[in-house]
Amino acid sequence: MDYLTIKLFHLVGLMLVFMGLGGMVFAASAGFGPDRKTLRRAAAFIHGIGLLFILASGIAMASQLGLFHGDPPGWIKAKIVIFLVLGGSISLAARWSRAIWYLLPAWILLGAAAAYLGLYK
């Protein structure tokens, strides 16, 4: 696959991750009832598929750039940390709904940091 197609999958994964996080915020504000469980499942599923897209396409892009020969650069390590934090933060949104107002700005800053690292390597 060419680099631009892999980058497209990476961006689709990014959209899915943030859509899943937003869905979890919506489910947390929905209150109790049978719809909340369905919303939480759908949000977690979309978030997980997005993480899978990001991981697979990120590895493919780094491989095409030849960055896996030896120790990876610092910006890749930072993006892996951002990936892990965004991946795990959905559980905070699902379990601790009062943290939403702290998580929303954190998610925006993490997304901006990942974009900065990707653009300005």
Give yes or no for a contact between 48 and 35, defined as CB atoms under 8 angstroms apart: no
Quick check: pTM over 0.85? yes
Question: Measured between alpha carbons, how far is residue 107 from residues 25, 32, 98, 101 in Å?
Answer: 12, 25, 15, 10
Taking 50 as the pLDDT cut, the residues of the chain under it are none
- How many Å apart are CA 96 and CA 53, to the nearest integer? 27
pLDDT of residue 33: 66
30-51 confidence digits (pLDDT tens):
776 677 788 889 999 999 999 9
pLDDT of residue 32: 65
pLDDT of residue 19: 95
Token representation of residue 110: 């993490």
- All residues at 6 or more sequence positions from 81 whose CB lies less than 8 Å from its CB, including other chains: none
